């Protein structure tokens, strides 16, 4: 079975699924089905190859994931590739089809990775290092896809026609999130003046008059970054209208046209209701990432920063259900997560129950491996989750089912 690995975690003895091509000449460097040696891996790294397709049986996958803590999911290579693609868009030159297609491909990879591995979000949260605009957009896209996926899943009880009307395209929201800050390029006078024609948007956006358009062209206004982004993207034929409008609406509300203001216009809301929800999701995820960047210091843990953001969440900003979706979509420790414990209890464990209250959400229930001991971190002193390893719920289905059956038996007695 084919799995995509970052080259940094490929190990000697793994078998290639597909041939590796030179990125410049398309010449075959190593043929499919080759068993890799350390020399192969070193050569490919020097050639700038970031990821490899590896052929693994289910047994081999479990062996690598649990014996060596190797997760067969692209992470580093997506960050590097996407970051390079976003940084190559400088706004001085008009967006061409090639550059936009590269961003679209990156958005698709993010979606595919989240669909394959719910813990993909953990591989993008090194806030002490990755706090440039490109990395911020990548994390925002990752969070937004996870949140939109939960939103879509909660539409399952609607009639087919209504569900289709409300369902958010994961590819579109990933692309919108990757591009949501592209308007910041207009801080450069040449970029701003290079836009062919600034769009006026009519009565739904009263702050953007023809006079304001002229002023925005002459004088950069950070509050209108989404509007700048909309104008940069407007003429590109590969970007759908849905993505362009989502980028426009995803900005902060202080310019008077963000998703929280637009939703008050019933006429406008009915015509692009799905776009408004997508924009809210991106807005929320962007704020979350910015909050984490600002608050994670050496002395502040990820858990504390996460709780701090959730405590700032208010009804005035977003509806209650968005917080519930956010907690379920972007949890610290999803169900089935394999973690490494440190402290009074050491070793590996699987998360079998998470919490949604403010005080205890970062302290899940776990079952230790292989002892099968049930642990509730709320009541265990001096034990913390040191590292997230990965998820493979199916491998431990029997163990989790046994725990649930034990609970039911206890209740029946």
291 in any annotated domain:
yes
Distance set, CA 66 to CA 27, 38, 72, 332, 389 (Å):
35, 21, 11, 20, 8
Tally of domains within the chain: 3
Whether residue 318 lies inside any domain: the answer is no
Q: Cα dist. 338→74, 166, 306, 352, 376 in Å?
A: 18, 34, 20, 10, 15
Alpha carbon distance 277, 144 (integer Å)? 11
How far apart are alpha carbons 238 and 146 in whole angstroms?
24
Distance CA 201, CA 271 (A): 15
Quickly state the pLDDT bin for 393 (edges 50, 70, 90). very low
Residue 305 lies in a domain: no
Q: 């953001």: which residue's tokens?
A: 309
Q: Based on the domain organization, do 142 and 258 belong to the same domain?
A: yes
For tokens 């297609």, name the residue: 101
- Collapsed DSSP state (helix, strand, coil) of residue 105: helix
DSSP 40-70: HHHHHHHTT--EEEEE--HHHHHIIIIIS--
Show which of 29, 55, 72 is a domain's final residue: 72
Q: Do both 119 and 90 map to the same domain?
A: yes
Q: Which residues pair with 341 in a beta bridge?
A: 347, 385
Average pLDDT over residues 383-411: 57
Handedness of CA 154, 280, 149, 63 (dihedral sign): negative
Q: Based on the fold, state whether residues 206 and 140 are members of the same structural domain.
A: yes
> Do 36 and 52 belong together in one domain?
yes
| CATH number of the CATH domain containing 27 | 3.90.105.10
What are the distances in angstroms from CA 370 to CA 51, 383, 399, 403? 32, 18, 9, 13
Domain boundary among 265, 295, 325: 295
Range of the domain at 381: 337-412
Count of C-beta atoms within a 10 Å radius of residue 314: 8
Which 8-state DSSP code applies to residue 207? T
- Residue 83 shares a structural domain with residue 198: yes
CA–CA gap between residue 401 and residue 253 (Å, rounded): 46
Q: What pLDDT digit, counting tens, does each position of 262-283 carry?
A: 555 544 555 567 888 898 899 8
pLDDT tens digits along 314-366: 655 667 777 778 777 776 676 677 788 989 899 888 887 776 555 566 678 88
Q: Of 295, 325, 358, which residue sits at a domain end?
A: 295
Per-residue tokens: 231: 């104008």
Statement to judge: residues 118 and 218 lie in one domain: yes
Inter-axis angle of helices 170-178 and 97-116, nearest 10: 120
Predicted pLDDT of residue 118: 56
Cα distance between residue 289 and residue 271, in whole Å: 30
Q: Do 82 and 60 share a structural domain?
A: no
* Shared-domain flag, residues 283 and 348: no
How much is the pTM?
Answer: 0.75
Give the per-residue pLDDT at 177.
Answer: 95
Tell me, yes or no, whether 233 lies in a domain.
yes
Separation of first and last alpha carbons in the chain: 46
User: What whole-number distance in Å separates Cα of residue 212 and Cα of residue 231?
Assistant: 14
280 shares its domain with 403? no
Domain presence at residue 307: no
H and E: helices and strands count for the chain: 17, 10
Phi, psi (degrees; rounded to nearest 5) at 34: -70, 135
Q: Is the peptide bond before 290 cis (omega within 30 degrees of 0)?
A: no
Tell me whether residue 268 is in a domain: yes
Q: Cα–Cα distances in Å, from 245 out to 170, 196, 241, 249, 270?
A: 15, 18, 6, 6, 14
| Over residues 408-412, mean pLDDT | 60
59 lies in the same domain as 120: no
Residue 142 pLDDT > 70, yes or no?
yes
Q: 134 and 210: one domain?
A: yes
pLDDT in tens, 235-265: 888 999 999 989 988 876 554 455 555 555 5
Are both 60 and 86 inside the same structural domain? no
């Amino acid at each position: 079975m084919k799995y995509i690995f970052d080259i940094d975690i490929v190990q000697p003895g793994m078998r290639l699924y597909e041939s590796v091509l030179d990125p410049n000449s398309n010449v075959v460097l190593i043929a499919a089905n080759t068993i890799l040696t350390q020399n192969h891996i070193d050569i490919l790294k020097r050639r700038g190859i970031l990821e490899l397709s590896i052929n693994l049986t289910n047994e081999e996958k479990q062996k690598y994931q649990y014996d060596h803590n190797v997760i067969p999911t692209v992470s580093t290579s997506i960050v590097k590739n996407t970051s390079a693609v976003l940084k190559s868009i400088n706004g001085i030159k008009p967006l061409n089809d090639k550059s936009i297609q590269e961003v679209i491909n990156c958005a698709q990879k993010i979606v595919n990775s989240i669909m394959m591995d719910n813990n993909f979000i953990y591989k993008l949260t090194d806030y002490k290092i990755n706090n440039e605009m490109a990395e911020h957009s990548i994390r925002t896209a990752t969070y937004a896809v996870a949140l939109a996926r939960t939103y879509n899943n909660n539409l399952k009880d609607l009639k087919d026609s209504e569900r289709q009307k409300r369902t958010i395209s994961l590819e579109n929201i990933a692309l919108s999130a990757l591009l949501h800050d592209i308007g910041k390029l207009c801080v450069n006078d040449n970029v701003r003046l290079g836009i062919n024609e600034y769009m006026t948007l009519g009565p739904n956006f009263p702050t953007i008059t023809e006079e304001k358009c002229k002023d925005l062209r002459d004088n950069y206004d950070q509050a209108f970054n989404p509007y700048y982004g909309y104008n940069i993207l407007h003429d590109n034929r590969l970007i759908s209208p849905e993505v362009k409008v989502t980028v426009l609406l995803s900005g902060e509300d202080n310019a008077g046209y963000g998703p929280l203001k637009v939703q008050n216009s019933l006429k406008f809301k009915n015509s692009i209701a799905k776009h408004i929800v997508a924009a809210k999701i991106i807005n929320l995820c962007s704020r979350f990432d910015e909050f984490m960047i600002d608050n994670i210091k050496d002395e502040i843990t990820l858990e504390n920063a996460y709780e701090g953001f959730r405590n700032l969440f208010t009804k005035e900003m977003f509806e209650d259900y968005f917080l519930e979706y956010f907690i379920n979509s972007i949890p610290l420790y999803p169900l089935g997560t394999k973690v490494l414990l440190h402290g009074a209890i050491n070793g590996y464990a699987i998360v079998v129950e998470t919490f949604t209250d403010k005080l205890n959400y970062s302290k899940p229930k776990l079952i230790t491996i292989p002892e099968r001991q049930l642990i509730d971190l709320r009541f265990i002193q001096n034990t913390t989750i040191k590292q997230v390893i990965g998820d493979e719920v199916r491998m431990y289905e029997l163990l989790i089912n046994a725990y649930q059956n034990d609970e039911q038996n206890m209740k029946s007695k």
